[in-house]
């Protein structure tokens, strides 16, 4: 027994050293085959029907083989079941005087069914496991020949061993899964202790076993996952997306790109933000021109990006004031009400914006009124850093609708990607060793997105804009490069399949399959779900006419990052519902799909005030198939 335990311990230690820093190679469910050799330990003490007295332990070699199925309960425990056969025959010897002996040669084959549990994660950074369980055996063959020294004629006839009974045994062991030739192979060693005698007549007769073998996992296949997420190093990258309800899922079928007729309305944020104690607009949040801006700026040159559009608030107002000579505006400056104490700062902010409009766009000063307040009429969380940065602003008000109306960017044809937002999730990186990282996303050598950071890389989201991807079946490639504290570099590469879909006319000119109009034109006040009368008119007059009898309208609510996630999801859903209620009055009988994502999906950069304001919105998608 000491030899057996020493062998098991040596095997466990050796495979643990061999497997250091490998990842476990198991999936939720697996099946395969197993096989190997048995070292059988026979402990007899019986007298045969012919008078042979066998009470000396004997050993023999045999075989075992069959099939298995494993099922993971969690990362630690894994159920295992096996069915197969094994051989445990042996020659039992009775030594007699004058170097004579009696021989009882047993030929035994058993059908075995075993159940047990594998325990993982017992060894740091190793996939090695221990296993234990119960084996039930049923006789397939149970025969013997017996040669007695008193009988000079040897018998070769086999007889059935009397009293053969089913075998019950317990087993313990260890194994190590490894990758080889595209399969998972696990060398194993187990010791099996019999709980009953092999024969009820030739008893006692116990048979224990030491097994050394290997299991080969045959399935299930994971080719589909490997096609999408290519892993070249121990660290890896997972690609996922969020559904309309805000739930995260692994991206399993790649990206779909299709030609559509596309137009989008962007909300116009009537705020100009300022830095702490500054009376000039924050240059990171508001672009300005020196001298005459006319001829240098036009709405047609604006990008399809809501934050970038709203960096030109003052220029947009200047152009619209020129186009609407009867319109007037009110500029109301405010401070954060907590850390800013400069007297007259709020009014100077409003006057600064007025000067920009009169100087750059020749607006009559009498058309612009200025005022000041300690806080805006509807302040954002004034005791939080995010809220204070939003309250340092100038608010623009006008009774003329054209001055503050949403901005529409239209295109005859655009390439629309679904899902439009994907997330890169780095896996198994050593955060203590990484100094900096760079994530580069490209298509056919053309850079689409580059993100950089320090320390262990966190999940990164990418919003895919219209026309970002090419009109071809070309996959998206990504490379995550890390630089360790000692200066060494490593990379994780992969690709995401792209399925480009379009109809072609006889002239081989692409034509859109569907008309999709996206509206993000309504902004809600902080922590509010009410729609003002002005916004209700926008919904009825801008969204309503686009909805056709065969349209599907999807409404998704959002919030900023301020507040608890559960509360924000509820607030986002309320915003989507009140929007649907208004549109249903204009388009009854239409199919509406409503959901609330809250802050779970950050559609705009919430690190900047403009992004948080834009996130208090609903997105309305009107999808109308073309006949």
Q: How far apart are CA 200 and CA 139, in angstroms?
A: 14
Same domain, 290 and 390: yes
Model pLDDT, residue 506: 29
pLDDT over 90 (residue 270): yes
End-to-end CA, the chain: 81
Q: Which of 47-61, 242-256, 570-584, 602-616 has the lowest mean pLDDT?
A: 242-256
CATH number at residue 416: 2.60.40
Last residue of a domain, one of 358, 389, 405: 405
Residue 225 has pLDDT above 50, yes or no: no
Last residue of a domain, one of 467, 502, 537: 502
Where does residue 504 rank: exposed (0-12), middle (13-18), buried (19+ CB within 10 A)?
exposed
Q: Write down the pLDDT at residue 417.
A: 85
Tokens of residue 137, six digits: 């055996």
| Mean pLDDT score, 152-168 | 81
CA distance 216 to 415: 46
- Domain for residue 508, yes or no? no
Q: Which residues contact 52 (CB under 8 A, 6 or more apart)?
A: 94, 102, 104, 146, 148
> 423 and 332 in one domain?
no
Q: How far apart are CA 357 and CA 355, in angstroms?
A: 5
Structure tokens at 73: 């309960």
Give CA–CA dist 263/304, Å, rounded. 10
Residue 610 burial (10 A CB sphere; 0-12, 13-18, 19+): buried
* Predicted local confidence at residue 321, as pLDDT: 94
Give the confidence band of 282 by pLDDT, cuts at 50, 70, 90. very high
Q: Which of 232-236, 357-361, 399-403, 612-616 has the lowest mean pLDDT?
A: 232-236
For residue 298, being part of any structural domain is answered with yes
Q: Is residue 258 included in any domain, yes or no?
A: no
Domain residue limits at 26 = 2-221
Q: How far apart are CA 158 and CA 504, in angstroms?
A: 79
In degrees rounded to 5, what are phi and psi of residue 414? Answer: -140, 155
* Residue showing tokens 């313990």: 172
Residue 369 CB-half CA count within 13 A: 8
* Number of domains the chain contains: 4
In a domain, 138, yes or no: yes
Instruction: Supply the pLDDT for residue 264.
Output: 67
- Using the predicted structure, report yes or no on whether residue 203 has a pLDDT greater than 80: yes
pLDDT-derived band at 214, boundaries 50, 70, 90? very high
Closest CA to 306 of 606, 531, 529: 606
Kindly report, residue by residue over 523-544, the tens digit of the pLDDT.
899 999 998 888 888 888 888 8
Q: How far apart are CA 484 and CA 590, in angstroms?
A: 56
pLDDT in tens, 466-509: 788 887 778 899 999 988 877 788 888 889 988 877 543 222 33
Domain co-membership, 483 together with 527? no
- pLDDT surpasses 70 at 1: no
Q: What is the CATH number of the domain that holds 522?
A: 3.30.1330.60
Distance (Å, whole) CA 391 – CA 339 = 11
Local structure of 218: helix, strand or coil = strand
pTM for this prediction: 0.49
- What's the pLDDT at 513? 64
279 and 343 co-located in one domain: yes
Name the one residue in this structure whose structure tokens are 């690609």. 239
pLDDT range class, residue 331, cuts 50, 70, 90: very high
Q: Same structural domain for residues 78 and 138?
A: yes
Residue 587 tokens read as: 């388009």
- Tokens 């250091």 found at: 20
Measured CA to CA, the distance from residue 406 to residue 371 in angstroms comes to: 25
Distance CA 237, CA 339 (A): 43
Mean pLDDT within 128-140: 92
In a shared domain, residues 286 and 273: yes
Comparing 243-252, 361-370, 438-447, 586-595, the range with the smallest average pLDDT is 243-252
Residues 101 and 156 both lie in one domain: yes
Q: Which of 221, 250, 284 is the last residue of a domain?
A: 221
How confident is the prediction for the chain on average, in pLDDT?
84
Distance CA 272, CA 407 (A): 17
Decide if 198 is inside a domain.
Answer: yes
Max avg pLDDT among 57-61, 223-227, 403-407: 57-61
CA distances from 147 to 60, 199, 224, 246 (A): 18, 20, 62, 79
My answer on whether 442 and 314 are in the same domain is no
Asked if residue 249 is part of any domain, the answer here is no
Region of poorest pLDDT, from 94-108, 132-146, 487-501: 487-501
Residues 390 and 495 in one domain: no
Q: To which residue do tokens 């559904």 refer?
A: 243
Domain check: are 536 and 414 in the same one?
no
Percent of the chain at pLDDT above 70? 86
Nearest partner of 257 among 563, 468, 81, 499, judged by Cα? 499
CATH of the domain at 56: 2.40.160.20
Confidence at residue 543, expressed as pLDDT on a 0 to 100 scale: 86
The reply to whether 65 falls in a domain is yes
Give me the mean pLDDT over the 583-596 stretch.
Answer: 89
Nearest to 395 by CA among 328, 350, 357, 343: 350
Question: 329 and 396 in one domain?
Answer: yes
Q: Phi and psi for 228 in degrees, rounded to 5?
A: -90, -40
Give the mean pLDDT of 392-418.
82
**pLDDT tier at 395, thresholds 50, 70, 90:** very high
Q: At what angle do helices 313-323 and 345-361 cross, to 10 degrees?
A: 50
In the chain, the percentage of residues whose pLDDT exceeds 90 is: 46
Residue range 5-57, pLDDT digits in tens = 455 445 444 544 444 444 444 457 889 999 999 999 999 999 988 888 999 99
In this structure, are 526 and 457 located in the same domain? no
State the average pLDDT over residues 134-147.
Answer: 92
* Rounded Cα–Cα distance for residues 115 and 132 (Å): 9
Question: For residue 251, is it within any domain?
Answer: no
């Amino acid at each position: 027994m000491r030899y057996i335990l020493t062998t098991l311990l040596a095997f466990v230690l050796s495979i643990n050293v061999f497997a250091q820093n490998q990842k476990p190679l198991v999936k939720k469910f697996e099946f395969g085959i197993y096989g190997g050799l048995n070292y059988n330990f026979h402990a007899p003490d019986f007298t045969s029907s012919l008078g042979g007295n066998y009470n000396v332990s004997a050993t023999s070699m045999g075989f075992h083989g069959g099939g298995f199925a494993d099922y993971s309960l969690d990362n630690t425990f894994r159920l295992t079941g096996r069915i197969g056969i094994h051989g445990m025959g042996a020659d039992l010897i009775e030594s007699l005087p004058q170097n004579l002996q009696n021989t009882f040669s047993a030929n035994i084959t058993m059908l075995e069914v075993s159940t047990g549990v594998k325990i993982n994660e017992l060894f740091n950074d190793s996939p090695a496991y221990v296993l234990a369980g119960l084996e039930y055996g049923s006789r397939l063959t149970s025969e013997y020949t017996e040669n007695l020294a008193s009988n000079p004629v040897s018998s070769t006839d086999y007889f059935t061993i009397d009293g053969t009974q089913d075998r019950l045994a317990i087993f313990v062991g260890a194994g190590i899964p490894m990758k080889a030739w595209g399969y998972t192979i696990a060398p194993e060693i187990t010791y099996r202790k019999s709980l009953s005698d092999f024969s009820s007549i030739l008893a006692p007769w116990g048979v224990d076993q030491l097994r050394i073998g290997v299991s080969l996992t045959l399935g299930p296949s994971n080719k589909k996952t490997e096609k999408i997420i290519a892993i070249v190093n121990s660290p890896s990258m997972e690609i996922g997306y969020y559904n309309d309800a805000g739930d995260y899922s692994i991206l399993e079928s790649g990206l779909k790109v299709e030609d559509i007729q596309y137009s989008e309305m962007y909300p116009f944020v009537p705020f100009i933000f300022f830095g702490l104690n500054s009376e000039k607009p924050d240059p990171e949040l508001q672009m300005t021109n020196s001298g005459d801006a006319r001829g240098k700026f036009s709405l047609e040159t604006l990008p399809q990006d809501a934050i970038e559009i709203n960096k030109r608030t003052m220029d947009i107002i200047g152009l619209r004031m020129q186009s609407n000579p009867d319109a007037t505006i009110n500029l109301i400056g405010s401070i954060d009400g907590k850390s800013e104490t400069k007297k007259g700062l709020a009014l100077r902010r409003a006057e600064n914006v007025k000067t920009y409009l009169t100087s750059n766009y020749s607006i009559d000063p009498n058309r612009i009124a200025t005022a000041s307040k300690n806080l805006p009429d509807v302040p954002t969380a004034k005791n939080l850093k995010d809220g204070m940065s939003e309250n340092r602003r100038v608010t623009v008000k006008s009774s003329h609708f054209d001055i503050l109306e949403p901005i529409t960017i239209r295109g005859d044809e655009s390439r629309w990607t679904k899902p439009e937002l994907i997330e890169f999730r780095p896996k198994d990186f050593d955060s203590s060793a990484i100094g900096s990282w760079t994530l580069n996303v490209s298509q056919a050598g053309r850079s689409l997105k580059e993100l950089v950071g320090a320390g262990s890389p966190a999940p990164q989201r990418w919003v895919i804009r219209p026309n970002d991807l090419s009109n071809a079946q070309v996959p998206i490639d990504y490379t995550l490069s890390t630089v360790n504290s000692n200066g060494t570099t490593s990379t994780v590469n992969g690709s995401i399949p792209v399925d480009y879909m379009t109809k072609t006319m006889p002239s081989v000119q692409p034509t859109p399959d569907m008309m999709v109009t996206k509206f993000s034109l309504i902004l809600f006040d902080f922590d509010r779900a009410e729609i003002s009368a002005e916004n209700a008119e926008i919904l009825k007059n801008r969204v309503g006419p686009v909805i056709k009898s065969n349209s599907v309208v999807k409404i998704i609510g959002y919030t900023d990052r301020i507040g608890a996630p559960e509360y924000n999801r509820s607030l986002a859903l309320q915003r989507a519902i009140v929007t649907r209620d208004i549109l249903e009055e204009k388009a009854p009988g239409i199919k509406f799909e409503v959901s609330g994502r809250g802050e779970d999906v950050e559609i705009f950069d919430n690190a900047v005030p403009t992004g948080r304001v834009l996130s208090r919105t609903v997105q309305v998608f009107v999808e109308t198939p073309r006949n």
